[in-house]
Structure 1
Amino acid sequence: MSLILGVLGGMGPAATLDFLGRLQAYTPAAKDQDHIRVLMDLNPQVPDRNTPGAGAGPVLAEMAGGLAGGGAEVLAMPCNTAHAHADLIIRASGLPLIDMIGGAAKAAADTGARRVGVLGTKGALRLYREYLAARGLGLVSLEATRQEAFMALLYRIKAGDLSAEARTEMASLAHDLVADGAETLIAGCTEAPLVLAPRDIQVPLIDAGDLLARRCVAVCLEHEPPPQV
């Protein structure tokens, strides 16, 4: 038996489906019954996490409570920015939430880097700055106009643009962070890895969503304990 995983998804849908594919791929299974049971709330109607006061928190709390009521025993949320509402989600559900931001920050520290570049929204950058600082690491972020370019590209990816042009633009943004001193990069937005691969840059690339999928497998199969509530 394995723990039942509840996933708060839809932010955005393509990134959530990518996460589910990784979850399935990383589960050691010889037959259907060896896989993890997943309860999914793929809700693209969650208010924009990048708009202050939009009301994403209460919606996420309601989703979490619904997953708990359906039988979920541990939660995951493949959206970096939405982790600003982690405490509310945990309180509403009474369930542990596997920490996407913390997992990526630890992986960055494990590379030996002292300065870590993050491709993410402003909200995600605030979270990563705190987590990295707690480990004695500095955050490297894009300058203002390039951050605006990243956000414009992010919304294009959400709209389905996975073109060669989008890949080139994301790689260029990543190169900016390396040029500014980043020794490791975190793809701190789940859309970024849809158009960015480790081969595109010359420093280690940490995919926060990929790490989350791997940890979900480990927790649900009880290879490691779930987080404390």
Structure 2
Amino acid sequence: MKTIGLIGGMSWESSLLYYQIINQRVKEKLGGYHSAKCLMYSVDFHEIKTLQDQGKWEEATRIMIDSAQRLQAGGSDFIVICTNTMHKMAKEVAESVTIPLVHIADATAAEIVKCGIRKVALLGTAFTMEQDFYKGRLTDKFGLEVLVPGDAARKIIHDIIYQELCLGIVKESSKASYIAIIQDLVQEGAEAVILGCTEIGLLLSAKDCSIPVFDTTRIHAEYAVDFALRDE
């Protein structure tokens, strides 16, 4: 079993899910008393969020690179960034180490393509929904057509993530808002929805939606285990 290196803390609420899902997957695969070999370097999300808000992505990138290098030095065999938004600097992080980086968008898109789906809605932070580092990868590498909500809906999604979910606050009213936004995207032709923020799974599940749901947290964490066990 390879050792999984996790860059966590963005937020710790979703990093907790990563640890839980990874160990559940190992138990499912190997049985008995097996658990995952993993290291987590957890950053202070206050620092990251401040840099995001100020648009200081170069400084945020340095923190992510330092985190990856610490995990490699600690014996990790590959890197998992436990957040969608911070894959904005995935290329720089990958180039800073000599071990692989397992990209969350690649793991998610592979599952979508496997299901024969081509037109997907994307929910996430404003950075993920509006910038090209994520949508572009889904389109260019996997041929997916990506729909995002309009301006007002994007603000609602973003604010709920940062003002509620990252703080462990889950509200039925916020769930209802997300469901309504998804239904609007279904009307635009969305065949499925990507929960493109690792906290959204705290709020929504497949049973809440009329179309297939791809929860990036679960997909990424389970893919990491499969990667760790690939040559076993």
With the length of structure 2 as denominator, give the TM-score of the two structures. 0.89
What secondary structure sits across from 1:150 in the alignment? helix
- 1:222 aligned residue (208, 225, 230): 230
Counting matched residue pairs gives 222
Question: Equivalent pairs: percent with the same residue?
Answer: 23
Residue 131 in structure 1 maps to residue 132 in structure 2: no
Which residue is equivalent to 2:178? 170
Kindly indicate whether the alpha-carbon contact (under 8 Å) linking 2:13 and 2:167 is maintained by their aligned counterparts in 1. no
Give, in whole Å, the separation in 1 of the partners of 2:230 and 2:144. 31
Name the amino acid aligned to 1:129.
K
CA offset digits 1:151-203 (Å, max 9, x no partner): 11111111221122232222222222212221111111011111001111111
How much has 1:215 moved relative to structure 2?
1.1
Contact 1:50 1:122 in 2 (8 A): no
1:53 to 51, 56, 65: 56
- Matches of 2:109 and 2:206, distance apart in 1: 17
For 1:5, give the aligned amino acid: I
In the alignment, does 2:125 pair up with 1:121? Answer: yes
Q: Deviations over 1:7-29 (max 9, x none)?
A: 00011110110111111111134
Letter in 1 for 2:15: T
Letter in 2 for 1:93: V
| Bigger helix share | 2
Aligned 8 A contact 2:88 2:134 in 1: no
* Structure 2 gaps, min length 5: none
2:83 aligned with 1:79, yes or no?
A: yes
Contact 1:64 1:89 (C-alpha < 8 Å) held by counterparts: yes
User: Quick check: 214-223 or 147-156, which moved more?
Assistant: 214-223
Amino acid corresponding to residue 205 of structure 1 in structure 2: V
State the alpha-carbon separation in 1 of the partners of residues 39 and 157 from structure 2.
32
Letter in 2 for 1:85: M
Query: Structure 1 residues 136, 88: CA separation in 2 closer, same or farther (over 3 Å shift)?
Result: closer
Shift of residue 220 of structure 1?
A: 0.9
TM-score normalised by structure 1 residue count: 0.90
Unaligned residue ranges in structure 1 (runs of 5+): 225-229
Structure-2 separation of matches of 1:23 and 1:113: 26
* Higher mean C-alpha displacement, 69-78 vs 84-93: 84-93
The CA distance in 1 between the partners of 2:198 and 2:220, in whole Å, is 11
1:105-136 residue CA offsets vs partner (Å, 9 max, x unmatched): 22222222232100012332323321232233
Distance in 1 (alpha carbons) for counterparts of 2:90 and 2:153: 28
* Aligned partners of 2:7 and 2:42 also within 8 Å: yes
Calculate the aligned-residue CA RMSD, in Å.
1.8
